Amino acid sequence: MTGQAQSAGKERLSAGKERLSAGKERLSAGNERLSAGIDIGTTAVKAVAVDEDGNVVWRTRVASALSVGPGDRLEHDAVSTWWEAPRAALRALAKGLEVPGPGNQGGQEVGQRLEAVAVSAMMPSVAPVDERGRPIGAGLLYGSAGPAGPGDPTSSDEMARLAALAASDWPGASGYWPAQGIANASLGGQGVIDLASAFAAGSLFNGAGWEERASQAVGLSAAQLPRVVVWGEALGELGSLGGERSRAQAVLGAGSVDGLCEQLVAGVSAPGDVLITLGSTLVVWLCVPGWPEEVPAGLWRVPHLAGGMALVGGASNAGGLWADWADRVLRPAPEGSRAGGLSPDGVPLWWPWARGERVPWHDASLRVGLSGGHLSHGSAHLRRAAFEATGFVVRHIVGLASACGTVPRRYVVTGGGVVNQEWLRALCEVLGAPVLPMAVPEGAALGAAFLARMAAGLETSLADAGRWSRWAAPVEPRPEWAEAAGERYERWAEGLPARGPAPGS
């Protein structure tokens, strides 16, 4: 990472710390036994404190120090984002929870009721660490070593290639760990990741442990990778947070991959359910019964948390990174200065490949395309087109996945994008069906908070996380916009590049 990028990252972290109080919301302050979930995302570290019924009683957010490094690498300042930001977020939660409120009789500090904490994180990610687990170099994120390949995350070599990059750039490090392992070391002194995160490491993990031969092939040893435990397992007590031990003596539990944590609390558990994650990365899963022997070329297939089911779909670059880029480029002008009015049939087409594309092409060379642009179009038209492009990708992935024999019947949306009504409106009108947004935008942090409760012995079954599933009002498509967006989708699909042969054919 360049000195300029590091400086900018530190400035963003500092600004994020100064705004820690912004966006906090105390929704209740009873005598429940609280747990906390921390989610290390691409653009922010989010944290929530949750009561036993899944109600968020406090929330906070720290901006991530994100940059694009040499070779189009997507990088975090791993010290500020993976080591320091989880501690800062947890301190902010504890401070907020100490505020007396209704039901807090006799001045009892609510912060003393925090029972457990767990961390979720995006995968794959790798940073070199010292003997304490503190990063000594940049944190490399998904896509930094080229496309993951057509196999699902458990068979991909992307994590291995990230580790090879880290080992080449920072040889001789004590370890090469994902974000979750570094955060756990920062919070509790142990570099640990959960089983799902280990499986997401692909060829480096053989199901029982780290694969020594695969590790050596990328320039490191299995001993330089973190310990693996089952999600929801207790790792010990929280360590020091800024000079003082946590007064709560809270348990630190093993969280998981952000996608698994979101799935836990999304209530997506029936054949035909579609889970759409509008995060920095767009992730689309169609729930199908059984285990399909084959899936369309380029899609992923992973087990569902509910037995006897699978998820078919995968990750796309048409998520928040794409939408944020479009926002920055377009810089919307005041309403009165826009050229022309926005109408259902007056929207151009975007192909949203600002950093290549993942499923189903797995091609880093793809780039943004625009079709149908006109002098009468202003920023409002292009913004709508950018949001529709996300919907086009969702519709395309779901259409491919439905070849497994399951018809989509319900669309549930999670991730930070659930607060963006313009994005949700475009999505439902491209799909021609209502979308059901989760009531809590920090879905991964919420799921991690449930795993924290398991670590503290307050929960015994993953299935019980379903009682935390809550949705906002569905967003309904407007018929005239849905018809026009459907016609645009057909033209968009005609402009897609050809896909290669199915894996193994």
Q: Are residue 215 and residue 292 in the same domain, yes or no?
A: no
Query: How big is the chain, counted in residues?
Result: 505
Task: State the pLDDT at residue 12.
Answer: 37
251 and 272 housed in the same domain: no
Record the pTM.
0.88
DSSP string, 314-360: EEES-SHHHHHHHHHHH-PPPGGGSSS---TT---EEE--BTBB-TT
pLDDT for the residue 144: 77
User: What pLDDT is recorded for position 403?
Assistant: 96
Residue predicted with more confidence, 201 or 223: 223
pLDDT tens by residue, 473-487: 999 999 999 999 999
Do 305 and 333 have their domain in common? yes
Note whether 320 and 449 are same-domain residues.
yes
Look at residue 317 and tell me whether its pLDDT is greater than 80: yes
Q: What is the mean pLDDT of the chain?
A: 86
Q: Is residue 261 part of a domain?
A: no
**Mean pLDDT, residues 340-356 taken together:** 89
Indicate whether 499 belongs to any domain: no
Angle of CA points 62, 63, 68, to nearest 5°: 150
Together in a domain, 25 and 126: yes
For residue 408, pLDDT beyond 80 = yes
| Rounded CA separation 183/181 (Å) | 6
Beta strands in 19-153 (DSSP E): 34-40, 44-50, 56-63, 66-68, 74-76, 114-121, 125-129, 139-141
Name the domain count of the chain. Answer: 2
301 token code pair: 């297939």
> Do 483 and 416 have their domain in common?
yes
Instruction: Determine contact, residues 274/412, Cβ cutoff 8 Å.
Output: yes
- pLDDT for 10 equals 41
Q: Predicted confidence band at 27 (pLDDT cuts at 50, 70, 90)?
A: very low
Residue with tokens 């001789």: 172
Q: Which residue's structure tokens are 């963003």?
A: 12
Residue 308 has pLDDT above 80, yes or no: yes
Residues 6+ apart with CB under 8 A from 116: 35, 36, 234, 250, 251, 252, 253, 452, 453, 455, 456, 458
pLDDT of 51: 94
Domain membership of residue 503 (yes or no) is no
229: domain CATH number is 3.30.420.40
Residue 58 maps to a domain = yes
From 65-74, 211-220, 329-338, 358-367, the region with the lowest mean pLDDT: 329-338
Domain final residue pick, 200, 221, 256? 256
Instruction: Tell me: pLDDT of 338 over 70.
Output: no
* 186 and 220, same domain (yes or no): yes
pLDDT mean over 287-307: 93
Q: Are 163 and 126 in contact (CB under 8 A)?
A: yes
Residues 312 and 411 placed together within one structural domain of the fold: yes
**Of 256, 282, 301, which residue is a domain's last?**
256
Whether pLDDT at 383 is above 80: yes
pLDDT of residue 336: 46
Q: Does pLDDT of 101 surpass 50?
A: no
Residue 262 counted as domain residue: no
Same domain, 450 and 322: yes
- Let me know if residue 505 belongs to a domain: no
Residue 484: count other Cβ atoms within 10 Å of its Cβ: 18
Residue 139 pLDDT: 96
Placement of tokens 């006799």 in the chain: 106
Counting residues of the chain whose pLDDT is more than 70, the rounded percentage is: 85
List the domain range (segments joined by +) for residue 320: 267-494
d(CA 9, CA 503): 40
Q: Does one domain contain both 241 and 298?
A: no
The reply to whether 85 and 169 lie within a common domain is yes
Select from 316, 311, 258, 273 the least CA-distant residue to 442: 258
Domain boundary among 198, 222, 256: 256
Same domain, 92 and 187: yes
